Structure 1
Amino acid sequence: MTSHETWAYSRKSPAPPRHTYAPRYRREIDGLRAVAVLPVIFFHAGFVAFGGGYVGVDVFFVISGYLITRILQDEIARDAFTLAFFYERRIRRIVPALLVVIAFTAPFAWAWMSPQQLEDFAASVFSVALGLSNFFFLSQVDYFSPNAELQPLMHTWSLAIEEQYYFLFPAALYLLRKLRRPMLFAVLLVGVCVSFAICLWGMSENPARNFFFTLSRFWEIGFGALLAVGLGARDRLGEGAVAGAFAGLGLVLIFVAIFLFSATMPYPGPLTLVPVLGTGLVILFAGPATLVGKLLAARPFVGIGLISYSAYLWHQPLFALLRLRSVHDPSPEALVAVAVASLLLAGVSWRFVEQPLRKRRGLFGARPALFGAAGACFVLLISLSLAGYLAKGVPARFDAGVTRYLSAATDRADRGDGCFFDLNHDLPRQPVPGCAHPDAKARMDVLLLGDSHALAISEAVGALLERRGIGYYDVGYGGCIPLPGFHRVDLGPAHRCAAFDTSVLDYAAQAGVSTIVLTARYTLYLEGHRYDNGEGGREPGADAYIDVLGKAGGVDDPERRARVLRAYEAQIRDLAKRFEVVLVAPVPEPGWNVPQVGFKHALFRGRDSVVSTSYAGYQARNAEVNALFERLAAELARVRLVHTAEAFCEAASARCVNADAQGVYYFDSDHPSQAGARRLAPLVVEAIEGARAAIRP
């Protein structure tokens, strides 16, 4: 990532002993850095074609391991190696530009970040100063999640891994200096294999954390070290047609990873071998006479390669700040402009920050002055970041008119009574203690059943039921449609939705429950894809879809969709033979995180800005499900439908409100907050009372 050594010695450096190899500068490796950094930038810009652009970091890892191992080998052979000199070079190479980028980012973070975001930013600065940012992000964020896009220093995870590697490797290489080359190669190979095995284990245990884990990544840098040791005194292996073919194959492998990989693939893991081996082939075979060598040694590639470290440093903060400042998703034009700006700033940074401070002259020419200045800067960083973290992001920066939106993130139902389950729980035995209201001895007339949307409205609905003296039983299961006979294809057999539904409904029948209220994301489970509101908001998360038991169609399989829709009707008709059924239609989905978008509206557009989405979008999204429910409610006397749009949408304005001066009605991108539930609850209770009235003698 950071390694860009010139392999040149000053006049004061000891001259290499006779017959000792001194490594030479290879322009094509600088060109290879351009091939690595540009896809990373384009990936973070969200360009679909560069779905695997994140593999540029793997290319950097291999290059770094190769170059620094060659330099260390040469210094050890010349008896010129010292840890102090090694770390001096690393500080001159890494620290100045990094400090400039952090100093540039901090004022914008202060002005634009919410308290929680600023608290996280402060913690990330603290971890960067300690060289442990990969562990911070390992515990905080999935690299491929939308939240990662708002982390200005998220990309420093790779710098941390390199620094952790080079904290150990130079001393180890020095201690092993007397080993013959085959034996040293074997020792390194064992280390690489152990790290790769840890990577494979981590991929199955926790892929999100595995991405940032040090030992899951060491093998990539170690692979570059293997190349250096294996080459010995040679720069590369051959120059002929065979070398050209292998170099071409290497470049093809890198391009395959960049353009054919995606964020949904398990990574790192076996797939990581593709860009790693491709980089190795280019390093081994791309000589000046090969086509690949000539291409990578061309001035544009070399120029971008020279500034690649600064480009890598600048791109993520700029993209994150753009997204923080944008109320909705930035336009493609804005993202392109930021990508270009990152390269321009990289050129300035390389010329006026990197280059001057890499030379041992001027204010920080002496090693003690350099170490002292670097230490002072990191102490300052640690102090300021710790202060920001302990102050919890300094919420006093904003008035209540702004922060009220953020408080909605915690305005959610929290029964705390063990009545809501998911795939991480064993199936409960019915009845579940504490889930009958007002108490277990009261007659239960109503069952509230569903997924997390049922949980979101349960407290508000329950409060109204209790005021009317209506007893109810309230349970739910995350991501579970409250109709028997279905399974979540994307979650597998661990998600025991069908068994949960059957046990609850059987208990309800035995307990004399007359009315069941079914609330769920019926459209999501049918469609499979998260909601895109067409206005810059798309709900994060993977596809979530169901099929009938015994079937497992694909998310876009029209036969699956038709089968599920038919089964919806059959199951509801069957339940209507046993109970009065209240169907709660799908709640309008905002698509964007309402507290965050509301915060931005208040900050950038005025305190009382209304956050809303298209009513037509809701209608189009839920057309099939709502049409089915309306038909069943019209045909079956024992089925009633709650039109949730009546609580949030207005035909006159053609908008569905997410937040306004009276409240913030969602706590994320789809779940109603308590304020939102209070808008919807009266409609649900009205339908319940209508159902109960129909069965009275």
Structure 2
Amino acid sequence: MIKYRQDIDGLRSLAILPVLFFHLGAIRLFPGGFVGVDVFFVISGYLITKIIYDDLSNGRYSIARFYERRIRRIVPALIPVYLFVCIGGLLLYFPSEGREIGRTVVSSIFFVSNILFYAKSGYFDAGAKTSPLLHTWSLSVEEQFYIVLPLLLVLILRFGFTVQRYVFVALTIISFGASVVMVRLQPEAAFYLLPFRAWELMLGSLISIGVVPVIRSRRLAEIVAGGGLLLIIGSILFISEKMPFPGLLAAPACLGAAALIHAGGSFQTLSSRLLSLAPARFVGLISYSLYIWHWPVIVFYASRTGELDRVDKLILLAIITALAILSWRYVERPFRKPHGADSRMAGVYGWAAGSFVAVTALALLIAPARQALWPDYAVPEQILAFQTPPRADMRNGSCFIASGAGAQDFDAAQCLSLRPNMRNVLLIGDSHAAHLYSGLTKAFPDVHFLQANASGCMPLGRFAGPERCTQVISRAFDFVAAHGGQLDGVIISARWKKGDARRIGDSIARIGSAVPITVVGPSVEYRLPLPKILAQAWPDDSGASSGRFRGEPGPGLDKAMRAAVEGAGARYISMEQAICPGGTCRVWAGKHVPLQFDEGHLTTQASRLIVAQVAPQFLFR
């Protein structure tokens, strides 16, 4: 039986609290709060590997008993969450959205939600980001690991410890190396899929099977534990979601968790005493319930309010904490303790199977039940259908490289080729450049538009980020340097943020004065996808309700960008004035056609409408 350690419960609190506050929007305080999930992976890898390894080594391992314990540990508390999500999907969402929620519930039940979210992941996928069960991807990764781990241990235990050690170390290194590579090539795969996360769990495994030498000096234990604590806190404070993650940036938090676990197993250090304090231990005890309840509560609340203010966050924190305590006290604890002998095992499996079948049936009924309760849904569903990105009209996959694709997908032969006997204009930027392409080709049929766009890649500075940024955007500027005399114009557009006005001048100067430059200012953005805002307000089609969901950037950034661009000698086009003339923002591009398909990107119809409106302002030769 594994020895209970108070400091590990305290470490769980250090994992869950940053995740909770990060998801509540305290990003300025905890910009890297999401690394708490990585700390959980190390803890889980340590505990579960130790249980299986010790049982196998002592000849008492039973795979049926192991999974019975896993069922008792995770399933009972999940069932109320699934029921809550199903009810929320029925009452708060449209039929098409309810159908998607049903899919995520079923995928979560069978612990493949990480694969579903990876398949759905992409730069424009607001649906995944606002899924009430998005957080279950990590549970799926863990359970998939627990399927592979026993098989691995059974295979290698017949060999000596030296072989066991080499196998675990080699697999950890391979998984880590794959994560480092994939976070640059396919960050969504690196984030969601087990092969690129296994190393985090296996760091815990290395400690539990004794690969890491025991610490025999209290002083060394204090240094290791203190360093581990600093690594986790430093990751929480200094890593941000804008950085490529997991990969190398996940290593400090994971190594920090491993260091705390390892040092705490040898000595009671100052760090372990801090983690063993009663408040930390209590938060650690309820951490699982906190984790599974916090995200659906936040998503359902925010689905009606958009961005959370301070009062909203305090209300949500109180609700989530109360639900977690109730779940831990009345669901987790009673079910975790086994009752009876082996004959009870069949009952546990039967109960779990019955619960899964019932929840699956309920999940699949969300959409038809919602449709039956609200028959007048045709127009809102028509509006919501515009949430599908117009990928072809943005030339996604060839001239516009979205997240999930790599720089190798950029078709330079097609996208950066000059066409004789036509004016040639190059469109540089991120997705907020790509959404202009359809409108530009419609408004200027006599112009050949070259295009070099990559999602999330700012045409500023050193073009940092994934390879699609460093290569695609750099290639565009290199092309201008080599062929500027043959170009009739350059258009730069991006999802501009505060501070970009100070840097845009450098990009303009880099292009130089040999070719006319037009910079398109920041688009109007909302805190929820605009189609959802308009569908929720239907039959009111005035768009008046959209104002309260208006997000950043605003008129202030638009003015700063104009001053910087014109001061650098380039032409500036204000999307703020084009979309919001007189301060009132238009929201429709046609009958039941929203202006934007998500929080900020233009639909094809809107691209053609807005570009035609501002066409005289573009500066071409």
TM over 0.5: yes
SS in 1 for 2:587: strand
Matched residue type, 1:185: R
Distance 1:50 1:454, change over 3 A: closer
Using a 3 Å threshold, how does the CA distance of structure 1 residues 494 and 562 change in structure 2: closer, same or farther?
A: closer
Match of residue 475 from structure 1:
449
Per the alignment, do residues 655 and 186 of structure 1 end up closer, same or farther by CA in structure 2, a change over 3 Å counting?
same
Instruction: Give the 5 Å matches for 1:242-641.
Output: 242-286=220-264, 289-326=268-305, 328-361=306-339, 366-385=344-363, 399-409=377-387, 421-422=399-400, 424-428=410-414, 450=427, 451-458=433-440, 461=443, 472-479=446-453, 489-490=463-464, 491-495=469-473, 496-498=475-477, 521=493, 524=494, 529-530=496-497, 558=502, 560-564=503-507, 570=513, 586=521, 588-592=523-527, 595-599=530-534, 601-602=536-537, 606=540, 608-610=542-544, 611-612=546-547, 619-623=555-559, 626=562
SS for the counterpart of 2:61 is coil
Answer whether contact 2:504 2:565 (CA < 8 A) is retained.
Answer: no
Q: Identity of paired residues, percent?
A: 27
Find the aligned partners of 1:584 and 1:292 in 2 and give their Cα distance. 53
Change (3 A) 1:78 1:329: same
Q: How many pairs does the alignment contain?
A: 593
Q: Spell out, residue by residue over 1:149-208, the C-alpha distance to the aligned partner (whole angstroms, 9 max, x if none).
A: 412111111211211121122244345445444443333223322322322332332122
Comparing 305-314 and 59-68, the one that deviates more:
59-68
- The one-letter code matched in structure 2 to 1:304 is V
Alpha carbons of 1:225 and 1:390: their partners in 2 closer, same or farther (altered >3 Å)?
Answer: farther
CA distance 1:565–1:108, change in 2 (3 Å): same
Cα distance in 1 for residues equivalent to 2:372 and 2:442: 33
Per-residue deviation, residues 435-489 of structure 1 (Å, max 9, x unmatched): xxxxxxxx98x88874435424247636xxxxxxxx7345341549xxxx99983
Shift of 1:557: 8.6
TM-aligned CA distance change 1:625 to 1:224, over 3 Å: closer
Structure 2: distance between partners of 1:678 and 1:501: 26
Query: Matched residues in 1 for 2:603 and 2:610: separation?
Result: 11
Distance 1:175 1:378, change over 3 A: same
| Partner of residue 665 from structure 1, selected from 595, 599, 602 | 595
- Residue equivalent to 2:406: none
CA contact (8 A) 1:412 1:456 kept: no
Return closer, same or farther for 1:460/1:645 CA change in 2, 3 Å cut-off. farther
Distance 1:361 1:412 in 2: 56
For each residue in 1:643-669, what CA deviation from the matched residue of structure 2 results, as whole angstroms up to 9, or x when unmatched? Answer: 866754343xx3232349965323344
Is 1:388–1:394's contact at 8 Å kept on the other side of the alignment?
Answer: no
TM-score relative to the length of structure 1: 0.72
What is the CA-CA distance between 1:626 and the residue it aligns to? 5.0
> Which segment drifts farther, 265-274 or 560-569?
560-569
Match of 2:78 among 83, 98, 103: 98
Correspondence for 2:405:
none
Q: When you count helix as a share of all residues, which structure comes out higher?
A: 2
Shift of 1:508: 8.7
Deviation for aligned residue 1:296: 1.6
Structure 1 stretches lacking a partner, 5+ long:
1-6, 8-22, 434-442, 463-470, 510-515, 532-554, 576-582, 634-638, 692-697
Q: 1-side partners of 2:571 and 2:249: how far apart?
A: 52
The residue matched to 1:477 in structure 2 has which SS? strand
**How far 1:674 moved relative to its partner?**
4.8
Q: Hey, what does 1:552 align to over in structure 2?
A: none
- What is residue 85 of structure 1 aligned with on the other side? 65
Q: Give yes or no for contact 1:642–1:683 (8 Å, CA) kept in 2.
A: no
After superposition, give the CA deviation of every residue in 1:528-574 in whole Å (9 maximum; x if it has no partner): 7337xxxxxxxxxxxxxxxxxxxxxxx7594x5444556889456x6
**Helix, strand or coil for the counterpart of 1:63?**
helix
Query: CA separation in 1, counterparts of 2:393 and 2:523?
Result: 23
Q: Which has the higher contact order (CA 8 A, sep 6+)?
A: 2
In structure 1, distance between residues paired with 2:552 and 2:171: 58
> In the superposition, relative to structure 1, how do residues 143 and 674 fare at CA in structure 2: closer, same or farther (>3 Å)?
closer
Alpha carbons 1:39, 1:54 under 8 Å: kept: yes
Q: RMSD over aligned Cα, in angstroms?
A: 4.6
Q: Name the SS for the 1:475 alignment partner.
A: strand
Quote how far apart the aligned CAs of 1:593 are: 5.5
TM-score where L is the length of structure 2:
0.79
Q: Deviations over 1:288-320 (max 9, x none)?
A: 743222222221111111111111111111122
Contact in 1 for aligned 2:534/2:543 (Cα 8 Å): no
Post-superposition shift, 1:250?
1.9
Q: Against the structure 1 CA distance between its residues 302 and 393, is the aligned structure 2 distance closer, same or farther, given a 3 Å change threshold?
A: farther
Deviation at 1:421, TM superposition (A): 3.5
